[in-house]
Amino acid sequence: MTYDYDLFIMGAGSAGAAAASKAAQAGVRVAVAEQESLGGTCLNRGCIPKKLIVYAAEFALRNKIATDYGWSKSSSHFDWTWFIRSVHKHIEKINRSYQEKFNKSGITLLKGHATLLDPHTIKVDERKVTADKILIAVGASPFIPDIPGIEYGISSREMFHLPYLPKRLAIIGGGYIGVEFSSMMNAFGCRVTVVDTDETILEGFDDDIRIYLQESLSQRGIKFVTNSKAAEIKHYEEGLLLTVNGKYKKTIAADSILVATGRTPNTRNLGLDNAQVKIGEQGAIEVDEYSRTSQENIFAVGDCTNRLQLTPVAKTEAVAFVNTVFGDQPQTVNYGNVPSAVFARPEIASIGMTESQARAEFGDSVKCYCDKFQPLMHQFASSEEQAIIKVVVEGESERIIGVHMLGEHAADIVQCLGVAIRKGITKQDLDDTIAIHPTTAEEFLTLN
């Protein structure tokens, strides 16, 4: 049978765009459907605008110690409206570059919502097309809990469109989204309260790092209501009231309430049943190690599947899919030692096993090297800022199975160490490496 396209991709986010470009380079006839802006969550309402806000907040933090470095005191004002408008202009510029790349590569872009009619037929709004292979890369959206008054809350999506900075911000959820926004908004002068169901924020990260980050953010003025759950949101004349139950029963007054309780796959209204594509827990598409769904010609990658929800992982899955299906080079993705970071201030980053994970798997053969110190910049400024580094090793060879860091440049440092860890380096390899001095990274090479 002759199809309109060799490959049809549902979604032009990080994964979909990567797959489209890779396949087009191989001479594959590609079409992509996207109902929103090109680039998906990461570009438009996630990683990129978030990191730009982190940079803006960094100026506020640096200004606090500027006088220690000889700068005279001066009044300053942060214009959120101007800044966020500039952020969106930058994103629009990147959007255009996606469109230009599609055009240059011969990729057909269909604007609209794509629905499967059968294993080879897709309907985009009112247009029907056919394809030999189909890739689902529709991503995920913020999960909104079912509590009274939740309609008064906003998700991370709306945070990038706030017309003004709230004086009081309550955040439901102590995951990476909630923690990052708590740090940024606090730096801008907002009074921030974070509600989390756990005792400590950032479940899944190493306990030492989690605990100290929470303490550090508390010292900056962020309030944490832990072991508690949001129960209700009410609107009143002066703003919003968030009722919290659990260990702490209280009512929190806020101008805005950010709901940061995780993300859920965008798998509704895709016609998956029409193509016999199975969905597993929490609405995620079930796939095998080659990203193939229950329908042999339909594949899925990224946040809509039951794997890691990280942009670089999604792009890696997309490239592996193209190599497997169109490059005759079967390729799987290694989900071990995937680095991750939380761009709070202070920043944290991690790769490999936490101490508790390592001890659960390897028992008494696990050893940890840990150090807490004050970076040079903050020694001179006499601030309270500290850094923590932690290396988890296993066995007599002291093979490194986990690295965790809190402090400036944590993400960049751990990213570089990640390459070495995947190659199986030991603690002795770190000890034998000559450091660059003075740097924060050199502390990994002098651990005792």
Q: Which two tokens stand for residue 42?
A: 């990461």
Q: Do 163 and 37 touch, CB atoms closer than 8 A?
A: no
Burial of residue 217 (CB within 10 Å: 0-12, 13-18, 19+) is buried
In a 3-state reduction of DSSP, which class is residue 119?
coil
Query: Rounded to an integer, what distance in angstroms lies between the CA atom of residue 20 and that of residue 318?
Result: 9
Instruction: Note whether 317 and 307 are within 8 A (CB).
Output: yes
Pairing verdict, β 256-259 and 168-172: parallel
The set of residues, in sequence order, having a beta carbon less than 8 Å from that of 354 and lying 6+ positions away, is: 204, 205, 206, 207, 392, 402, 404
Q: Which of 77, 120, 404, 437 is catalytic?
A: 437
Q: For the chain, what is the largest distance between any 2 Cα atoms, rounded to a whole number of angstroms?
A: 74
3-class state of residue 144 by DSSP: coil
Q: Do the Cβ atoms of 54 and 186 come closer than 8 Å?
A: no
Q: Which residues of 254-291 are buried (b: 16+ CB within 10 A; e: fewer)?
A: bbbbbbbbbbbbbbeebbbeebebebeeebbbebeebb
Q: Do residues 250 and 268 lie in contact, with contact meaning Cβ atoms separated by under 8 Å?
A: no
The answer to whether residue 437 is catalytic is yes
Q: Which residues are catalytic?
A: 437
